[in-house]
Amino acid sequence: MSTAQIAFLKGHGTENDFVIVPDPDGRLELSAAAVARLCDRRAGIGADGVLRVVRSAAHPEAREMAGEAEWFMDYRNSDGSIAEMCGNGVRVFARYLQQAGLAGEGDLPIATRAGIRRAHIAKTGPGGEPGDVTVAMGRARLPQGEVTVTVGERSWPARNVNMGNPHAVAFVGDLADAGTLYEAPGVSPAAAYPEGTNVEFVVDRGPGHVALRVHERGSGETRSCGTGACAVMVAAARRDGADPAVLGHPVTYTVDLPGGRLVISEMPDGTVEMTGPAVIVAEGTIDASFLAGTAV
């Protein structure tokens, strides 16, 4: 029986949960099947995705960013597929680095497949509670063309928003209209999203206040999606005629998700900032034979 042990932690951001695998020197071969085993909620640890923590200089996809960001977030969806970005994941990644003594309060650049994302870890609260993490998520891209989202017999027009990863944002009358979201909603035309997409269903709660449900590409419905909340904020602001580039000042929306609340702001230069909690809940070790699929 294998005695090799691999360290892991479990964390979440507004209940979007992750297995964190520290691998600073990039020595661990983490296959898609191994990721799926880790994320299995019955036979594994259970998570919406895996955050592998690697020094940028040790990862071929991040070496060019090593001079600006020491750490690379190698993010995988729960089915093992590789993703460009994960907003809640960046906050949890930053919290792990802080807890591990690899980063302190203040500004922290993090390399991702969507480029460098700059996090800011707020000061610890008076009761010792960890401060929120703010992440500069980059600028939204708004591809042209009409998009339609379909669940069962119902369809809605949607806004195509790219936050480093793709989103289809549909405003609906009731969040229950999205159904169970066990399967990915239909999105057309398929050419708008050649690699698939995340889909957000959104309702209004008040001025500058929306709520959503999300089906994440490669993971299914999740309790939260940081890039999705950013995409929803941008889509809502454009719908409401609140373009910060035109207004000349930041625009902020409160975004409620099943797992909690995020505050999203878009700056006049187009930069989107996301603020919310990040929590490490457990740590331990797992036998290497489990990742290899040879455990019995």
Nearest C-alpha neighbor of 280 from the set 1, 40, 7: 7
Cα distance between residue 195 and residue 215, in whole Å: 15
Q: Could you write out the DSSP letters of every residue in 172-198?
A: -S-GGGGTT-SSPPEEE-GGG-TT--E
Question: For residue 258, what are its two tokens?
Answer: 């099943």
Residues in the chain: 296
Contact 213, 221 (CB under 8 A): yes
Annotation-wise, does 160 bind a ligand?
Answer: no
Annotation-wise, does 227 bind a ligand?
Answer: yes
Annotation-wise, does 220 bind a ligand?
Answer: no
Element (H, E) at 220: strand 220-222
Cα distance between residue 48 and residue 46, in whole Å: 7
Annotation-wise, does 88 bind a ligand?
Answer: yes
* Catalytic site includes residue 86: yes
Check 133, 158, 225, 236 and give the catalytic one: 225
Annotation-wise, does 162 bind a ligand?
Answer: no
Check 65, 83, 86, 172 and give the catalytic one: 86
Annotation-wise, does 115 bind a ligand?
Answer: no
The answer to whether the peptide bond before residue 189 is cis (omega within 30 degrees of 0) is yes
* Catalytic site includes residue 39: no
What residues act catalytically?
86, 225
Q: Annotated binding site: which residue ranges?
A: 16, 77, 87-88, 165, 198, 216-217, 226-227
Q: Annotated binding site for substrate: which residue ranges?
A: 16, 77, 87-88, 165, 198, 216-217, 226-227
